Protein backbone atom coordinates (compact mmCIF):
# COMPACT_ATOMS: atom_id res chain seq x y z
CA UNK A 1 0.00 0.00 0.00
CA UNK A 2 1.24 3.43 -0.75
CA UNK A 3 1.03 6.34 1.61
CA UNK A 4 -1.87 8.07 -0.19
CA UNK A 5 -4.09 5.00 0.06
CA UNK A 6 -3.35 4.58 3.75
CA UNK A 7 -4.14 8.24 4.47
CA UNK A 8 -7.40 7.97 2.53
CA UNK A 9 -8.50 4.84 4.43
CA UNK A 10 -7.69 6.35 7.83
CA UNK A 11 -9.39 9.66 6.94
CA UNK A 12 -12.48 7.79 5.70
CA UNK A 13 -12.73 5.81 8.93
CA UNK A 14 -12.28 8.93 11.08
CA UNK A 15 -14.90 10.84 9.05
CA UNK A 16 -17.36 7.94 9.31
CA UNK A 17 -16.96 7.62 13.09
CA UNK A 18 -17.22 11.40 13.57
CA UNK A 19 -20.34 11.66 11.39
CA UNK A 20 -21.93 8.74 13.22
CA UNK A 21 -21.19 10.32 16.59
CA UNK A 22 -22.76 13.61 15.46
CA UNK A 23 -25.90 12.07 13.97
CA UNK A 24 -26.56 9.41 16.66
CA UNK A 25 -28.24 11.79 19.17
CA UNK A 26 -30.71 12.86 16.48
CA UNK A 27 -31.61 9.27 15.61
CA UNK A 28 -31.62 7.81 19.13
CA UNK A 29 -34.87 7.26 20.98
CA UNK A 30 -35.30 9.23 24.22
CA UNK A 31 -34.68 7.05 27.32
CA UNK A 32 -38.21 7.50 28.72
CA UNK A 33 -39.76 6.33 25.43
CA UNK A 34 -37.41 3.34 25.29
CA UNK A 35 -38.32 2.42 28.87
CA UNK A 36 -42.00 2.58 27.98
CA UNK A 37 -41.52 0.22 25.05
CA UNK A 38 -39.88 -2.47 27.19
CA UNK A 39 -42.67 -2.65 29.76
CA UNK A 40 -45.97 -4.28 28.71
CA UNK A 41 -49.23 -2.35 28.89
CA UNK A 42 -52.14 -4.08 30.63
CA UNK A 43 -55.02 -4.87 28.27
CA UNK A 44 -57.49 -2.70 30.20
CA UNK A 45 -55.13 0.31 29.83
CA UNK A 46 -54.59 -0.18 26.09
CA UNK A 47 -56.35 2.31 23.82
CA UNK A 48 -59.24 1.20 21.64
CA UNK A 49 -58.28 -0.21 18.24
CA UNK A 50 -59.90 1.02 15.04
CA UNK A 51 -60.57 -1.97 12.75
CA UNK A 52 -61.86 0.07 9.83
CA UNK A 53 -65.16 -1.40 8.60
CA UNK A 54 -65.59 -3.40 11.82
CA UNK A 55 -65.54 -0.29 14.02
CA UNK A 56 -63.62 0.55 17.18
CA UNK A 57 -62.96 -2.39 19.50
CA UNK A 58 -61.25 -2.57 22.89
CA UNK A 59 -58.23 -4.83 23.39
CA UNK A 60 -60.14 -6.97 25.91
CA UNK A 61 -62.89 -7.65 23.36
CA UNK A 62 -60.27 -8.73 20.82
CA UNK A 63 -58.68 -11.12 23.33
CA UNK A 64 -62.09 -12.56 24.25
CA UNK A 65 -62.97 -13.06 20.58
CA UNK A 66 -59.63 -14.76 19.91
CA UNK A 67 -60.09 -17.11 22.86
CA UNK A 68 -63.62 -18.06 21.78
CA UNK A 69 -62.71 -18.34 18.07
CA UNK A 70 -59.09 -19.49 17.70
CA UNK A 71 -57.65 -19.43 14.19
CA UNK A 72 -57.82 -22.58 12.09
CA UNK A 73 -54.38 -24.27 12.17
CA UNK A 74 -54.78 -25.38 8.54
CA UNK A 75 -55.05 -21.79 7.28
CA UNK A 76 -51.78 -20.52 5.93
CA UNK A 77 -50.26 -23.94 5.30
CA UNK A 78 -49.51 -25.23 1.85
CA UNK A 79 -52.08 -27.65 0.42
CA UNK A 80 -49.37 -30.20 -0.20
CA UNK A 81 -45.71 -30.14 0.56
CA UNK A 82 -43.42 -29.94 -2.43
CA UNK A 83 -40.19 -31.88 -2.14
CA UNK A 84 -37.38 -30.92 -4.47
CA UNK A 85 -35.28 -33.99 -5.10
CA UNK A 86 -32.74 -34.88 -7.69
CA UNK A 87 -33.08 -37.49 -10.42
- Domains of the chain by residue range: 1-39, 41-71
Confidence (pLDDT) at 81? 66
The pLDDT tens digits for 24-70 are: 988 898 888 888 788 887 877 888 889 888 899 988 888 888 899 88
pLDDT level of residue 75 (50, 70, 90 thresholds): low
- In the chain, where does DSSP find H-type helix? 3-27, 31-38, 59-68
Are the beta carbons of 64 and 44 closer than 8 angstroms? no
The answer to whether the Cα torsion of 70, 71, 74, 77 is positive or negative is: negative
Half-sphere exposure of 32 (CA within 13 A, CB side): 0
pLDDT over threshold 90, residue 23: yes
Confidence (pLDDT) at 79? 64
**Adjacent-strand bridge partners of 49:** 57
Confidence (pLDDT) at 77? 64
Amino acid sequence: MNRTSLIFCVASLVATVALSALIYPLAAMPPDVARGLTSPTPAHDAPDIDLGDFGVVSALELVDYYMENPPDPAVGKAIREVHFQGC
